[in-house]
């Protein structure tokens, strides 16, 4: 399928009031298209509405209003097909301790109505590296293995779209690498569209071609990862002087100057407004001889902080 794997229009979710808690508007009219075949990142601070969005896609939370199409199937018109097109690896480790991985995958396939002849249990066990634990009780699996089993459960019905909710939270580096290798392979070899939420911005930057940032129930930015990072205009020049500097040099307007503990001088400015040459010139004009010079470009973390700290900045 070319086009979009997911199409979301005007999606709203208000959780009903309960006890002393007032109603909570978790999604405030989200429009979002996710291209088929992409690895797409969903970022946002705690409570932004990411899990609500994912749970609506998974059919676990009922939307208040709006339209959701998964692999071309409208959730309201073709609920069975839209559900069959998506697999979700949840955040919580909700695994029945008395099932073996093989049994857990078989039960899951049964829930999705996959006929016995079409089950791919052994392939999934191999893909998640649990072949040798296939018949061990889940309660004897390590945390990392349980997480891989959750990934396996999301794959039994060969969904076109795979959603991963914080897949690597609290996971050690080795397992994280393994999960990513598996997920990349699914994307490349099977063309599976991958949607993931993560708090690790570096991970999103490395893994995702496109990113949407959600804040307070609204999509405040959606772009290619490169364009989002490119949108940040700030640049920092770090200059190590030959001799200790006691008085900070006079700089052109628009340049923020500071001195680090190691004596290096930092100049932050807008790339489009002030040429780097002008900053260096001003440093030289102040009689400072430069021993070393380095620049720092913004990363996704800067974009994220800027967008989520000042509302409407997108
Ligand atoms: N079942 C519920 N009942 C009432 N309010 C809820 C419920 N689930 C979530 N919320 C509220 O809706 C808002 C969005 O929550 P959600 O879990 O979707 O955010 P999130 O972006 O996934 O956060 P996190 O990164 O912490 O998982 C929050 O204010 C949360 O408290």
Name the residue of 19, 26, 220 whose CB sits within 8 Å of the most ligand 1 atoms, as the mutation to test its pocket: 26
Ligand 1 atom index nearest CA of 61: 1
| pLDDT at 313 exceeding the cut of 70 | no
| pLDDT at 82 exceeding the cut of 60 | yes
Q: What is the pLDDT of residues 126-139, one digit of tens each?
A: 888 899 999 998 88
Complex-level ipTM: 0.96
In whole angstroms, what is the distance from residue 279 CA to residue 243 CA? 18
CB of residue 44 inside a 6 A radius of ligand 1: yes
| CATH superfamily entry for domain 4-229 | P-loop containing nucleotide triphosphate hydrolases (3.40.50.300)
| pLDDT at 288 exceeding the cut of 80 | yes
Domain boundaries, the chain: 4-229, 233-297
Provide the pLDDT confidence category of residue 272 given band limits of 50, 70 and 90.
confident
Ligand 1 atom index nearest CA of 24: 5
Q: What is the pTM of this model?
A: 0.79
Mean pLDDT calculated for residue range 284-299: 88
Question: What was the pLDDT predicted at 306?
Answer: 76
Name the residue of 49, 54, 88 whose CB sits within 8 Å of the most ligand 1 atoms, as the mutation to test its pocket: 49
The percentage of the chain sitting over the pLDDT mark of 90, rounded to a whole number, equals 56
Q: How far is the CA of 57 from the centre of ligand 1 (A)?
A: 15
Q: What is the pLDDT of residues 138-152, one digit of tens each?
A: 888 888 888 889 999
Q: What is the pLDDT of residues 216-225, one digit of tens each?
A: 999 998 999 8
- CATH pick for 233-297 out of 1.10.260, 3.30.70, 3.60.15, 1.20.120: 3.30.70
Q: What is the pLDDT of residues 105-125, one digit of tens each?
A: 999 999 999 999 999 999 999
| pLDDT at 194 exceeding the cut of 50 | yes
């Amino acid at each position: 399928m070319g086009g979009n794997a997911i199409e979301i229009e005007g999606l709203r979710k208000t959780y009903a009031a309960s006890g002393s808690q007032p109603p909570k508007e978790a999604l405030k009219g989200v429009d979002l298209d996710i291209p088929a075949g992409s690895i797409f990142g969903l970022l946002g601070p705690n409570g932004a509405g990411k899990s609500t969005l994912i749970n609506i896609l998974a059919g676990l939370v009922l939307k208040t209003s709006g339209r959701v199409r998964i692999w071309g199937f409208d959730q309201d018109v073709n609920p069975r097909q839209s559900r069959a097109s998506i697999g979700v690896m949840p955040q919580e480790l909700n695994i029945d301790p008395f099932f073996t991985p093989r049994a857990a995958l078989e039960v899951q396939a049964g829930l999705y109505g996959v006929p016995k002849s079409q089950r791919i249990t052994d392939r999934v066990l191999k893909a998640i590296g649990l072949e040798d634990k296939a018949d061990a009780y889940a309660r004897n699996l390590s945390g990392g293995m349980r997480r891989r089993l959750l990934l396996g459960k999301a794959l039994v019905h060969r969904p076109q779209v795979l959603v991963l909710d914080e897949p690597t939270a609290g996971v050690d580096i080795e397992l994280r690498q393994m999960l990513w290798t598996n997920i990349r392979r699914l994307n490349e070899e099977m063309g599976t569209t991958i949607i993931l939420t993560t708090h690790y911005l570096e991970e999103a930057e490395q893994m995702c071609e496109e990113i949407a940032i959600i804040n307070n129930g609204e999509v405040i930015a959606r772009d290619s990862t490169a364009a989002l990072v490119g949108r940040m205009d700030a640049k920092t020049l770090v200059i190590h002087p030959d001799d200790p500097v006691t008085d900070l040099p006079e700089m052109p307007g628009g340049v923020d100057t500071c001195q680090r503990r190691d004596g290096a001088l930092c100049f932050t400015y807008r790339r489009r407004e002030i040429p780097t040459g002008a900053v260096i010139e001003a440093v030289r004009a102040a009689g400072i001889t430069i021993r070393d010079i380095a620049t720092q470009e913004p990363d996704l973390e800067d974009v994220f902080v800027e967008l989520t700290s000042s509302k409407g900045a997108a």
